[in-house]
């Protein structure tokens, strides 16, 4: 008996509305360092303290190891240069860094690309939604409500933070926090609506891949998103 071979599906084309990531490929932490050094020269400890004081850690994964590694990489690439050293009391000397013209150019180009070009982002929640049909409908609705409650807690925390920062900073200085709150609030409203549709039986609930999913999958090979 000859062995049956599964037909190979053609690769999925990238969605045209989401172009490839900016060619610079610079990390959020590196951009944060360049941005702060564009204000004034600083040493790494001051960079970290300023980031925490401005709550950059809500958007950037921040620890001293990655910070010093990124500073070294930026200096090696000619985006920043080390200058004078600062010494306080019995503490070790701290090297102060400043931004180069090349680093300022990279900063402006990267920020412009990020602001102007949407980028595909891969989120854990999206993967959970893809496979949610394997759960019982009642359990999925309960978990979505649990997520909505957690999102509410996060929004409350960030809203208090925004109120506090707004007392000493202009709106433009905290606009990214306002954007994050808006995204979380929108997700929370959507999650609660889906949970309600599941409970009311308005959302079709089938486990596994059905024929409709097969048609959708095969259609990916012949059309763009």
Q: Assign 88 a pLDDT band (cuts: 50, 70, 90).
A: low
Residue 17 reports pLDDT greater than 50? no
pLDDT confidence of residue 210: 54
- Over the stretch 116-157, which tens digit does the pLDDT of each residue have? 888 777 788 999 999 999 999 999 999 999 999 999 999 999
Residue 19 reports pLDDT greater than 50? no
**Residues 6+ away with beta carbon under 8 Å from 135:** 143
Q: Assign 223 a pLDDT band (cuts: 50, 70, 90).
A: very low
- Give percent of the chain with pLDDT exceeding 90: 52
- Over the stretch 27-81, which tens digit does the pLDDT of each residue have? 889 999 999 999 999 999 999 999 988 888 888 888 888 899 999 999 999 999 9
Ordered by start, the domain boundaries in the chain are 28-116, 124-220
Question: In this structure, what are the phi and psi dihedrals at residue 29, rounded to the nearest 5 degrees?
Answer: -65, -45
Fold of 28-116: Arc Repressor Mutant, subunit A (1.10.10)
What burial letters (b/e) apply to 122-138, b meaning 16+ CB within 10 Å?
eeeeeeeeeebbebebe
| Alpha carbon distance 196, 68 (integer Å) | 48
């Amino acid at each position: 008996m000859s062995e049956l071979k599964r037909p190979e599906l053609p690769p999925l084309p990238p969605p045209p509305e989401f172009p490839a990531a900016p060619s610079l490929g610079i990390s959020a932490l590196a951009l944060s360092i360049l941005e702060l050094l564009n204000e004034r020269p600083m040493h790494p400890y001051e960079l970290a303290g300023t980031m925490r004081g401005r709550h950059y850690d809500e958007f950037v994964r921040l620890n001293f190891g990655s910070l010093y590694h990124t500073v070294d990489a930026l200096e090696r690439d000619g985006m920043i240069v080390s200058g004078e050293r600062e010494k306080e009391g019995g503490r070790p000397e701290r090297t102060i860094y400043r931004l180069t013209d090349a680093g300022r150019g990279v900063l402006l180009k990267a920020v412009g690309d990020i602001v102007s070009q949407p980028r595909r982002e891969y989120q854990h929640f999206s993967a959970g939604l893809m496979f949610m049909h394997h759960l019982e409908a009642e359990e999925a609705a309960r978990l979505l409500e649990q997520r909505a409650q957690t999102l509410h807690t996060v929004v409350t925390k960030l809203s208090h933070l925004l109120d506090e920062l707004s007392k000493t900073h202009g709106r433009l200085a905290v606009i990214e926090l306002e954007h994050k709150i808006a995204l979380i609030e929108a997700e929370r409203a959507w999650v609660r609506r889906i949970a309600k549709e599941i409970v009311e039986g308005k959302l079709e609930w089938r486990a596994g891949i059905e024929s409709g999913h097969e048609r959708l999958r095969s259609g990916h090979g012949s059309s763009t998103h």
